[in-house]
């Protein structure tokens, strides 16, 4: 069996290490290269040592060289890094799994353009459970379209740099799309002072940052006399890594195009 050759960007980060563990433990995957930024003290070291499993693959900053002969790059870094890698993947014909959050509309459009040549799975959250939650939210929004106020509460660790989380925004987009609304027009991201009565057409977001919370998300549908809460809680980054590896396998078996985890999981 030919193994899928995987390149991991940001291999020393929290997600990078989870991905390393997943790839090194999988029978059908092979760590082809591991990338870090130019100022990293880990350059030249064995990537597997980061997770206690030396593998003979040295950490490098040379993304162009790393992509030679690779099948897929998995990227959970920052928008600027992801866009740099996107150009190289497009040039070398290497598929991408993108879990980076905080991409602008223009950057998302660039993903779509590149997907004419390569396969890309782009999702705000790679967790199988979260993507099942997206499907549940679509059903709930359709049934509770009238008479229910919608609020999204998310919590993450103190080191997370963007807010609301990409997952929370993804949940809002699913709900808004189902209700025929534009999230950019109906989202409320903070309340303070005398705000007046709640506009029933809005979707509210609340953000919590603290400690080592991996990722908690709750969507509240609050009606008169009842409320429905749909919650997903992640206790380990392994869930995101396993979803990303599932996406890598999906790309290996499918044509070029822009996909999300709903495609990967067959939920569409």
Residue by residue, DSSP assigns 46-86 as BGGGGGT---SPBEES-HHHHTTT-SEEEE-S-HHHHHHHH
Run of H or E including 227: strand 227-234
Question: Does this model's pTM top 0.85?
Answer: no
pLDDT digits over 134-189, tens only? 999 999 999 999 999 999 999 999 999 999 998 999 999 999 999 999 999 999 99
Q: Which CATH class, in words, describes the domain spanning 4-122+237-264?
A: alpha beta
Q: Which residues pair with 124 in a beta bridge?
A: none
d(CA 61, CA 64): 9
Confidence bin at 1 (pLDDT 50/70/90): confident
Secondary structure (3-state) at 173:
helix
The residue with tokens 């999300």 is 260
Pick the CATH number of 128-234 from 3.40.1190.20, 3.30.420.310, 3.40.50.720, 3.30.360.10: 3.30.360.10
DSSP H stretches of helix in the chain? 14-25, 63-66, 79-92, 105-114, 128-143, 166-179, 183-186, 238-252, 261-264
CA atoms within 13 A on the CB side of 185: 8
Average pLDDT for residues 86-107, to the nearest whole number? Answer: 96
What contacts 88, CB < 8 A, 6 or more positions away?
A: 63, 64, 67, 94
Per-residue pLDDT, 210:
98
46 pLDDT band, cuts 50/70/90, is: very high
Pair type for strands 149-156 and 119-122: unpaired
pLDDT band at 33 (very low <50, low <70, confident <90, very high): very high
Q: What is the pLDDT of residues 226-265, one digit of tens each?
A: 999 999 999 998 999 999 999 999 999 999 999 999 999 9
Give the distance from CA 202 to its chain's centroid.
Answer: 25
The answer to whether residues 55 and 84 touch, using CB atoms and an 8 Å cutoff, is: no
pLDDT tens per residue across span 57-80: 999 999 999 999 999 999 999 999
Overall average pLDDT of the 33-46 stretch: 97
Average pLDDT, the chain: 96
Domain segments of the chain as ranges:
4-122+237-264, 128-234
CA pair distance 148, 171, nearest whole angstrom: 16
pLDDT of residue 173: 96
- Neighbouring C-beta atoms of residue 230, cutoff 10 Å: 17
- 255 Cβ contact partners less than 8 Å away, ≥ 6 residues apart: 119
Which pLDDT score is estimated for 101?
Answer: 86
Catalogue the active-site residues.
156, 160
- What phi and psi values does residue 244 have, to the nearest 5 degrees? -65, -40
Question: From CA 79, how far away is CA 85, in angstroms rounded?
Answer: 10
Calculate the CA dihedral of residues 132, 79, 156, 227 and round it to 10 degrees.
-40
């Amino acid at each position: 069996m030919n193994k899928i050759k995987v390149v991991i960007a940001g291999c020393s980060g929290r997600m990078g290490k989870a991905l390393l563990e997943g790839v090194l433990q999988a029978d059908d995957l092979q760590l082809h290269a591991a990338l870090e930024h130019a100022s990293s003290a880990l350059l030249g070291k064995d990537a597997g040592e980061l997770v206690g499993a030396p593998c003979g693959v040295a950490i490098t900053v040379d993304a162009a060289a790393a992509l030679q002969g690779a099948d897929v790059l998995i990227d959970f870094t920052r928008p600027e890094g992801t866009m740099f890698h996107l150009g190289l993947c497009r040039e070398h014909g290497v598929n991408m799994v993108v879990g980076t959050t905080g991409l602008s509309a223009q950057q998302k459009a660039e993903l779509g353009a590149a997907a004419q040549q390569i396969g890309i799975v782009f999702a705000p959250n790679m967790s199988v459970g979260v993507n099942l939650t997206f499907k549940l939210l679509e059903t709930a929004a359709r049934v509770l379209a009238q008479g229910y106020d919608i609020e999204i509460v998310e919590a993450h660790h103190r080191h997370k740099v963007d807010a609301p989380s990409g997952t929370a925004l993804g949940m809002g987009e699913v709900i808004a799309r189902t209700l025929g609304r534009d999230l950019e027009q109906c989202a409320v991201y903070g309340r303070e002072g005398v705000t007046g009565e709640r506009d029933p057409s809005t979707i509210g977001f609340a953000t919590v940052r603290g400690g080592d919370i991996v990722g908690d998300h709750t969507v509240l549908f609050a009606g008169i006399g009842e409320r429905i809460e749909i919650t997903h809680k992640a206790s380990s980054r392994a869930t995101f890594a396993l979803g990303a590896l599932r996406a890598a396998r999906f790309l290996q078996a499918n044509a070029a195009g822009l996909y999300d985890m709903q495609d990967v999981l067959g939920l569409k």
